[in-house]
Amino acid sequence: MENVTLDTRLVSVIGDRSAKVLERAFDMHSVEDLLMHFPRRYSKRGELTPLTELPLGEHITVVAEVLEVRERRMQRRNGSLIEARITDGQGFLTITFFNQKWRLKDLQSRRRGIFTGKVTEYRGALQLQQPDYEMFERREDAPGALELSEAAAKAWSQTPVPLYPATAQMPSWSIQQSIEIVLEQLEPLAEPLPMYIVATEGLMDFDRAIRLVHQPEVDEHWQQARDSLLFREAFELQLALLDRRRCVGLAPAMPRDEGGLLLARFDSTLPFTLTGDQQRAGATIASELADVHPMHRLLQGEVGSGKTLVALRAMLQVAEDGGQSALLSPTEVLASQHYRSIIESLGPDMAAEVGVVLLTGRMPVAERKRSLLALASGAARIAVGTHALLADKVSMYDLGLVVVDEQHRFGVDQREAMRLKGNNPHVLAMTATPIPRTVALTAFGDLEVSTIKELPAGRQGIKTVVVHEEYTPERKQRMWQEVTRELEAGRQIYFVCPAIDQAELDPELDADIDGPAVAGGDSDGEAAPKRPVANVVDTVERLRRSAWYEGVRIEGMYGSMPTDEKDRVMRDFAAGEIGILVSTTVIEVGVNVPNASMMIVRDADRFGISQLHQLRGRVGRGEHAGQCMLLTYAEEDTPALERLLAVASTTDGFALAEADLEQRREGDILGTRQSGGRSTLRLLRVTKHGELIMHARDVAAELLDGDPMLEQYPLLGARIAAEEQHIENLAKS
């Protein structure tokens, strides 16, 4: 057999059957994929895992001792049933097997083992039906059993047992067995890191760390191995991100001079003064646009902080010498909003002089052709569009700046397709979802980051209230009264729903939407049907039927509506012709209607913290204070209700981003790696290892300063090159 290395295919080492299961369960293909599947925790053979807190319905792994075993005939079908009662010294669990008498040889009293299966309940007792298991040792009184010395027995009982993330098809010990087979044949692994980093950081060498994280003899082994591998993951990720930033910085770009007449004219028309944060971010961007290397910057800021204005000023700097900018938006609604906002901000004369065009996938053919021609000829210097801008037939005369709005909604490949339409254009990514520093360093470490925290003068605050549909009827009553007052005052209201439509109607919700609830009797005592999800179609219908809103124009909107219909609804709402707009999250970002003063989010617990913060940013954008009502049926002391209370407690998006990160973990925030079937991070957790991430970045920067091409460390260079796909998936999240 060939020498086994990290690149060796798993099938050639552990056989076709096990390799196929690992591929299906975890998308593993190589030896490295398997060895980087680290234990989630460690048990001891002599340490009994508690059985008193097992989650019903979940797949679990426990270490326990067999108390008793019995065999009996099944009453309702042919065959026999093997039942074994196991314990951890505190709780008890029954395991059962159907027509498998040979299990009696394994399941003998006083034997310990590791058992895995789905926890079910039978007659009030917890059980595992036909679990997988592995017994640790023979009974000491069994014929042929080895007599262990007291010291050897104690050492054996204290040896850590790795427990892996597993599935029903590939339980923990099966993964452990596959890893043992691989490690027996694996060639010694070369050290990729510079030895001075290994020494100064107190790391275990790479080969030893990989072996001991899977086969520790004492706790100190796996603890030191994990610490070493944790730093290596942080270091290699930060090194790859910094190297990527360096490569971008070395590419040539067309400099766009500062201080042009277009920008000066535009600034002179502004009826307000830019905030300090806007001025600082704008000055930084202007300086980088004038550089001979491409800018690669992330502009993050609170909802309503004026990021788009900063981007527009950058586009005018590029437009001064005929250069073009493309503003890429994730939805047609947002693209249309940006298009109208830019024209309004520039004024008709400057907009015509600069040339501003819109390009979306559902535009009429004639309009689309005019936009394409204007971009190809250079007549249009600002293009606003959706993914339609990425199409091959879209040609740009002199693309100098790509602005990506809500950049997390575009993958690396899409942003690269846009970039290739120019000659190393500058890139400005924007997000209204505040990003904790550790997430920014982990997922966007190849971008320089500018932050806008200040809100423009005159912006009113937003009051957010959680309204429980069952437990706070008086608060719900006041909410409907406030809806009426806002409408009578000439202001407008958003209703946001998590679904477009729902076949099943809900009379209870129907009564609520008709206005203040009327006291009534209970039902006949029968169990209520499952409550359907709040949705746009039903909400619009019920609001229109209600006498409370007679004379109020009520419209619905959602992403899959025809483009012209969405545009019509948004134009009419912006013009004040629509009193209540019922929508999905299509209005989450970018939509700007200063007269909208109130938002009611139905089934608000179905949205995340950042999403709710984005949504409520649609109100309070004018002279009137904003109100956001979060309606919910979520039970107390649940994560769903905790999310809503967190949003209601503060309007600081950065504090909410930290809370979101704590609750969701980076698995949701950073996405799932496409190769390897795991979270984008193996051991690293941005909620726990922020200081380590920042320290690893400093160490990586120092190494690159001395050896930018990693010529002295070719093995490390190869690992960094292989990390490229990992980084792309981080950036796609």
pLDDT value for 502 = 64
Contacts 24+ apart (CB under 8 A), 553-556: 553/577, 553/578, 553/579, 553/580, 554/578, 554/579, 554/580, 554/582, 555/580, 555/581, 555/582, 556/581, 556/582, 556/583
| CB 650, CB 656: distance < 8 Å | yes
In 3D space, the residue among 179, 236, 184, 185 whose CA is nearest the CA of residue 206 turns out to be 236
Q: Specify which residues 296 forms β-bridges with.
A: 427
Residue whose entry in the numeric block shows the structure tokens 């006291």: 519
pLDDT value for 649 = 92
CA dihedral 587, 591, 594, 597 (to 10 degrees): 10
Give the DSSP letter string of 362-384: TS-HHHHHHHHHHHHHT--SEEE
pLDDT value for 521 = 37
Q: How many CB atoms lie within 10 A of CB 627?
A: 23
How does the average pLDDT of the chain come out, rounded?
84
pLDDT value for 185 = 95
Q: Rounded to an integer, what distance in angstroms lies between the CA atom of residue 292 and that of residue 484?
A: 58
In 3D space, the residue among 368, 376, 335, 371 whose CA is nearest the CA of residue 356 turns out to be 371
Give the DSSP letter string of 153-203: HHHHHHSEEEE----SSS-HHHHHHHHHHHHHHBPPPPP-S-HHHHHHTTP
**Which amino acid does the sequence have at 273?**
T
Q: Specify which residues 125 forms β-bridges with.
A: 122
Residue whose entry in the numeric block shows the structure tokens 């169990």: 527
Q: Where are the domains of the chain?
A: 462-518+530-650
Return the DSSP state at 549. G
C-alpha distances in angstroms, 371 versus 219, 283, 384, 537, 692?
A: 66, 31, 10, 34, 49
| CB 710, CB 236: distance < 8 Å | no
Helical H segments across 635-688, by residue range: 639-649, 653-670
**Which amino acid does the sequence have at 95?**
I
3-state helix/strand/coil string of 460-524: CCEEEEEEECCCCHHHHHHHHHHHHHHHHCCCEEEEECCECCCCCCCHHHHHHHCCCCCCCCCCC
Helix (H, G, I), strand (E, B) or coil at 617: coil
In 3D space, the residue among 442, 463, 461, 355 whose CA is nearest the CA of residue 683 turns out to be 442
Give the DSSP letter string of 205-258: PHHHHHHHHHS-SSHHHHHHHHHHHHHHHHHHHHHHHHHHHHHHHHS------S
Environment class of residue 666 by beta-carbon count within 10 Å: exposed (0-12), middle (13-18) or buried (19+)? buried
Cβ within 8 Å of residue 509, ≥6 positions away? 531, 534, 538, 542, 602
| CB 91, CB 50: distance < 8 Å | yes
| CB 319, CB 327: distance < 8 Å | no
- Given a cut of 50, the residues of the chain with pLDDT beneath it are 48, 139-150, 153, 503-512, 517-528, 667-679, 730-733
Q: Rounded to an integer, what distance in angstroms lies between the CA atom of residue 516 and that of residue 52?
A: 47
Residue whose entry in the numeric block shows the structure tokens 């037939």: 393
Classify domain 462-518+530-650 by CATH number.
Answer: 3.40.50.300
Return the DSSP state at 94. E
HSE toward the beta carbon, residue 257, CA cutoff 13 A: 8
